[in-house]
Amino acid sequence: MMEEIGHIDLFERYRNGDLSERELMEFEARLVYDSEFKDNFEQYQKIEVGIENHFRENLKSKLIELDKTIDREKPKSAKSKRLLFMATSLAASVILGLVLFNFLSSSNHVDLAKHYWPEEPGLPVKMSSKGKYDDAMNAYKINDLSSSSNLLKPIHTDTSDYFQGVIAFEMDNTMEAKRFLSRIEIRSIYFNKAQFRFGLILLSEGNKTSSIKIFKAQIIEKTEFSKISKEILKKIQ
């Protein structure tokens, strides 16, 4: 084992092009006559490939996580509503018409915002390792919103801001919810979700003009909330 590790400096120098001409000739000759040295060098090269693969897989696992987020963000009811439309077009139209009428006549934008507020399941908590959001997410999942919020406070990331925004609204603190959600920048994976929720909060406060702007943006951007934004716009415009 010590011998293999001892070779690493030499392999590294070869890799970096730091061997002198003579050392390089000796190195290449040794690869021919010393089969153990050759095996060690081949193993070193395989480990190098393995390192690259490891970090590629790491990036891929981030895309898989993003996949889950995108799938979670899709409004759960959209598919069933579409099926309902196809299966019972006339009856569904009547029912939706009645629902629409109720919303319009009551003009209750708070109820409308709560109705369309997407369910947020929280981040997955791994059993194998401890993540920085695990305690906050465990509290969130058992609806201990206040503890979850306290645990997120020291973390200054877009993820933390997003969940703080969701929690604040669910605790009826719309000012705080707006403050957190508006911090989320466009490059964040939470941007569309945060914007959509921000629009709903504005709607619940009666700020129809600004909320309409946000729902229209969701439609233009073709986000996962574009269909639901169209629905909301139909009801409030």
Applying CB under 8 A, which residues contact another protein? 1, 4-5, 8-9, 11-12, 16, 18, 39, 43-44, 46-48, 50-57, 59-60, 62-64, 66-67, 70, 182, 185-187, 189, 195, 198, 213-214, 217, 220-221
Determine the Cα angle at 161 with ends 207 and 164, to 5°.
75
C-beta closer to another protein: residue 112 or 214: 214
Dihedral sign computed on CA atoms, order 138, 142, 148, 152: positive
Give least dist CB 56 to another protein, A: 6
Give least dist CB 150 to another protein, A: 27
3-class DSSP state for residue 182? helix
Diameter over CA atoms, the chain: 90
Q: How many CB atoms lie within 10 A of CB 97?
A: 10
Give least dist CB 4 to another protein, A: 6
C-beta closer to another protein: residue 46 or 141: 46
Q: Do the Cβ atoms of 76 and 225 come closer than 8 Å? A: no
C-beta closer to another protein: residue 108 or 182: 182
C-beta closer to another protein: residue 139 or 200: 200
Give least dist CB 75 to another protein, A: 14
- Element of type H or E holding 169: helix 158-170
